[in-house]
Amino acid sequence: MTTLLPPAGALDIVIFGGTGDLSFRKLLPALYMAHLHEKLSADARIIAIGRQDWTHDEYLAFIDSHSPAFIDASAFSASDWQHFLARLTYVSMDVMQGDDYARLKTLCSQPALRVFYLATAPSLFTQICARLSDAGLVDAQARVVLEKPLGTDLASARAINTEVARYFGEHQIYRIDHYLGKETVQNLMVLRFGNAIYEPLWRAPYIRSVQITVAETVGVGSRAGFYDGAGAMRDMVQNHLLQLLCIVAMEPPISLDADDVRDEKLKVLRSLRKMDLADIKRDTVRGQYTAGASEGAAVKGYLQEDDVPAGSRTETFVALRAHIDNTRWANVPFFLRTGKRMQQRQSQIIIEFADQPFSIFGTAASHEPNRLIISLQPEESIHLEMMVKEPGSGMKLHPVKLGLDLQSTSDKRRAEAYERLLIDVVKGRLTHFMRRDELEAAWTWIEPILAGWKALDDKPRSYSAGTWGPAASSALMAREHLSWFEEA
C-alpha cells in the first residue's frame, strides 16, 4: 500500500536518538545526500530528539563536528551543508514523559507526512509509539521506522510488534535492515529473475553449496553495553544474514509488490530445517576474539574491551550450516558466517555450482568448480569463475573470472543504503522492509539455536583478532569436502 505525500509536500522526519552514533554516522549523512540531490521537498524538516540538555546551536555544533567525516568528500560542500543544517531542529526531551510530546507537537508541521525514526533501544519502541499516539501525532499519513534488532527473542519481538500495531497499521511500519538497501542486494533480484541464463540452474542438483559471509574488522567499540546482551547471532544472523539467504533462495514472486516479495521470503524462513541439540553441536560454531592484530595495529581481545563483563561468553563470531527443506534446495547446504575482528571487511555470497558428472580432462587436470561471487562490500561486483585452457601444449586448466563491476555499468549516482531506504519510507515503498510475520519466522528458527547453546553450556571458541575465526569453522566446511572461499 502506498501513501502519497500531502498536496503541500510538507514532511517532518523525527529522529528519536538524534545524538547517537547511528544518527550522526548514517542517518544525517544519508539525509544530507538526499537533500543535495533534491530528493527532499523544499519544506522538509528534520527534528532530532535527544536526552542531552543542549540548545539548538549546541546540537548543530555537535553534528557539524561529527557527521561530515561520514560523507563522501567529493559530495561535501560547505554551502550545501549549511543549507542542510538549516533543516534541523533539536529537541531535548525525556521520551518517557508524555508532557514533552505536547511540546514536540507544536514543532511539527500541520498537516504533514511524519516519519518517526526510532534509533533507540528496542525497549523504548512501545513507550514512544504510545506517547506519540496520545499526543495526536499518529494519523493515517504517519510512518514509523524500527531499527534492528527487534527484540531479543521470539516473545519480545512479538510483544513489540503487538504494541506498535496498536498505534500504527502494518503498512505504516518499516522494520529496517540496511543490507536490503544495498545496490548489489537489490541487483540480486534482477540477476536471478531478469536473466534467463540463471533460473534453470538456480536449484539442486546444479548448485553444490551456498556461502554467505559478513565479516567485520572492527571490534565492539563503544557498543559493548548493547552487544554483550546480543552477540553475533542476534545482532547479525537473525536479520542481515537471513535476509540475504531469503533473497538467494526465494521463489520468483508474481510481482514486485511488497507483499508478493515478502510472501516468498517468508516461505524460505518457514522452510529452514529446525535444529535439535545434535544438529546444533555439529553444525554451529561460536567464537570470541582474543588480542591480536587488526589492519596492522595491535588490538585488545573481547574480554578486555570497555564495559564487557569479566568472563563473558557472548559470541563475536558465528558459523553455521543450514538446510532449506523444499524441492529447489533439497540437500544443498547453506553456510552462514559472521564475525568481528576478522581478517578483512567483506560481505560476500558465493554460489558454488556442482561438478560435471564426468570430466573428459581427467582427475590430473587442475580443476576448480564454477562459482558465482557476489560482493556486497567493500566493493560491489559480481564475478563468474569459469575454467579455461592455459596457453601451450596439453590441456591444463585454470580458473578465470568474468567480471561485472556494478559501479561502472552506469554513470548514474549510486545512493548509499540508508539514503535509498529513507526515501523508500517517504515514498511508501515497503518491499525492502521486513513484515511482521517474516521477522517472527526468523526468530522462530534462531531461538532454538540460542537455547541449544545454553543447554550445551557451549563456551565460544577463541580466535585471534585479524584471522578468519576459529579453526572449527573450517572443519565445518571440510566435513562436506568444501572450504570457505578465501581458503579455496
Binding positions for substrate: 178, 182, 216, 235, 340
Q: Is residue 383 annotated as a catalytic residue, yes or no?
A: no
Pick out the residues of the known binding site. Answer: 51, 94-95, 148, 178, 182, 216, 235, 340
* b/e per residue 235-254 (b: at least 16 CB within 10 A): bbbbbbbbbbbbbbbbeebe
Closest-CA residue to 94 (of 50, 126, 58): 50
**Residues 66, 171, 240, 323: which is the catalytic one?**
240
Which residue shows C-alpha cell 531478469? 194
Closest-CA residue to 439 (of 239, 256, 251): 239
Instruction: Please identify every residue annotated as catalytic.
Output: 240
